Amino acid sequence: MTSPASEDRHHDARQHGPLDRLWAVVPAGGAGTRLWPLSRAGAPKFLLDLTGSGRTLIQATADRLAPLVGERVVVVTGAAHEAAVRRQLPHVAQVIAEPSPRDSMAAIGLAAARLELEDPEALIGSFAADHVITDEEAFAACVAEAAEVAARGLLVTIGIEPTHAATGFGYVRGGEPLPGFATARVVTEFVEKPDAQRAEAYVLSGEYRWNAGMFLVRAATLLDLLAENHPDLAAGLRAIAADPSTLEERWPRLTKIAIDHAVAEPAAAAGRVAMVPGPFGWEDLGDFTALAAMTPAGPDGMRVLGDDSLVLSRDAHGLVVPAAGRTVAVVGLEDVVVVDTGDALLVTTYAHAQDVKAIVDDLKRSGRPHLT
């Protein structure tokens, strides 16, 4: 029933719809010290296969984005990881190497400034390199709606349905529905990581969602919003984009600020932020407890990330990562975490998963930075 003419129209509509101008910007930073000794300064978690899928987290991120943006992906990472990112993602359009870490506004803003120059109507969608999303179709539908909203000049955040009263994430509060869209709402407030009591109240209210740092916006809108509050930073990023040879000189002088503080919070206060609910499973794999939750339990109750033939357990439950290829036997421990790598071994519990970071500090202090 489709005539060649209607096919052409359809084709034209796709060519000029917001998704066709969307670029994925993937900030790939953070050492993931709470996942030591798997994650190291030289091999941070986004470069690792932490789900046993055969793809690293950044590869899975690119795979998930491919149906939406194809190869229109810009990865922004530390200079130390540029080569590894290019090896893992040979087909992405651009890899921007930051000379030094200057927080998320500079990283994403530089990508935005470059894309704005190429296409003044370009949309960007920022997606962290190390998140896990379990329903990719729902993700794609959500991003498509967010792109439509972003094309209207709003900053659009994707709000994750909280599964528990987490104190480790910021929250975003949804207000009135946005007319003309299926699920989008106006955002009335961004809130930083709450204490346990407030987190509980947010979740019970039904009005708050997790701010997972995923947002879509016109590149030019982002920089214009930034210019209202941090004109020097916006100008600095646009100047680097206009003359990349000035990167090394200008970069260290850019204001170090998170994008939420620099743009999202003031824009929300001004009513210029929308939220599209993300009806999909999401996990940031921040520590070994989160990793365990993603790893199915075997018949003996032990969760093994890797070759489960290497693990023997008796009266034991928890997570074992036999990454060194050695046999690991665990007897009589609950909620234990055993991470076995070639040069370092960690033994802890779910309850102490957050304390692993302190071991990394201990290693640095005791003259063993090569293990971190």
Identify the CA nearest to 229 among candidates 254, 193, 265, 190.
Answer: 265
Amino acid at 275: M
Helix, strand or coil, per DSSP, at residue 280? coil
Sorted by sequence, the CB contacts under 8 Å of residue 121 that are 6+ apart come out as 21, 218, 220
- With contacts defined by CB under 8 A, name the span among 15-23, 150-158, 277-285, 349-357 that binds its own copies: 349-357
Site for its own copies, residues 275 to 314, rule: CB under 8 A: 312, 314
Which residue in this structure is represented by tokens 């030019």?
A: 220
Contacting residue, 27, 29, 32, 37, with its own copies by CB under 8 A: 37
**Closer by beta carbon to its own copies, 103 or else 287:** 287
Helix, strand or coil, per DSSP, at residue 135? coil
User: Does 364 help bind its own copies (rule: CB under 8 A)?
Assistant: no
User: Does 119 help bind its own copies (rule: CB under 8 A)?
Assistant: no
H helix or E strand, kind and range, residue 105: helix 103-118
Identify the CA nearest to 369 among candidates 343, 346, 337, 341.
Answer: 343
The phi-psi region of residue 153 (left if phi > 0; otherwise alpha if psi is between -120 and 50; otherwise beta) is left
Query: What's the min distance (Å) between Cβ of 44 and its own copies?
Result: 18
How far apart CA 284 and CA 293 sit, in angstroms, is: 11
Beta bridge partners of 24: 73, 125
- With contacts defined by CB under 8 A, name the span among 95-103, 137-145, 198-206, 332-340 that binds its own copies: 332-340
User: Does 43 help bind its own copies (rule: CB under 8 A)?
Assistant: no
User: Does 75 help bind its own copies (rule: CB under 8 A)?
Assistant: no
How far apart CA 106 and CA 226 sit, in angstroms, is: 11
Sorted by sequence, the CB contacts under 8 Å of residue 15 that are 6+ apart come out as none
Contacting residue, 207, 351, 364, 369, with its own copies by CB under 8 A: 351
- With contacts defined by CB under 8 A, name the span among 104-112, 140-148, 166-174, 355-363 that binds its own copies: 355-363
Contacting residue, 94, 229, 255, 349, with its own copies by CB under 8 A: 349
Query: What's the min distance (Å) between Cβ of 360 and its own copies?
Result: 9
User: Does 90 help bind its own copies (rule: CB under 8 A)?
Assistant: no
How many residues touch its own copies under the rule CB under 8 A: the total is 35
Query: What's the min distance (Å) between Cβ of 165 and its own copies?
Result: 23
Sorted by sequence, the CB contacts under 8 Å of residue 41 that are 6+ apart come out as 31, 80, 369, 372
Contacting residue, 2, 15, 245, 366, with its own copies by CB under 8 A: 366
DSSP state string for 246-269 = GHHHHGGGS----HIIIIIHHHHH
CA torsion 13→18→20→26, rounded to 10°? -160
Contacting residue, 196, 204, 329, 369, with its own copies by CB under 8 A: 329
Helix, strand or coil, per DSSP, at residue 157? strand
User: Does 3 help bind its own copies (rule: CB under 8 A)?
Assistant: no
Q: Which two tokens stand for residue 302?
A: 């032990």
User: Does 319 help bind its own copies (rule: CB under 8 A)?
Assistant: no
**Closer by beta carbon to its own copies, 66 or else 333:** 333
**Do 319 and 298 meet the contact criterion of CB atoms below 8 Å apart?**
no
Contacting residue, 192, 196, 347, 369, with its own copies by CB under 8 A: 347
**Closer by beta carbon to its own copies, 184 or else 330:** 330
- With contacts defined by CB under 8 A, name the span among 104-112, 155-163, 191-199, 338-346 that binds its own copies: 338-346
- With contacts defined by CB under 8 A, name the span among 17-25, 38-46, 137-145, 362-370 that binds its own copies: 362-370
Query: What's the min distance (Å) between Cβ of 269 and its own copies?
Result: 41
User: Does 42 help bind its own copies (rule: CB under 8 A)?
Assistant: no
Query: What's the min distance (Å) between Cβ of 337 and its own copies?
Result: 9
How far apart CA 191 and CA 189 sit, in angstroms, is: 6
Q: Which two tokens stand for residue 326?
A: 């050695």
Amino acid at 237: L
Binding site for its own copies (CB under 8 A): 36-37, 312, 314-315, 326-333, 336, 338, 340, 342-349, 351-352, 355-356, 358-359, 362-363, 366, 368, 371
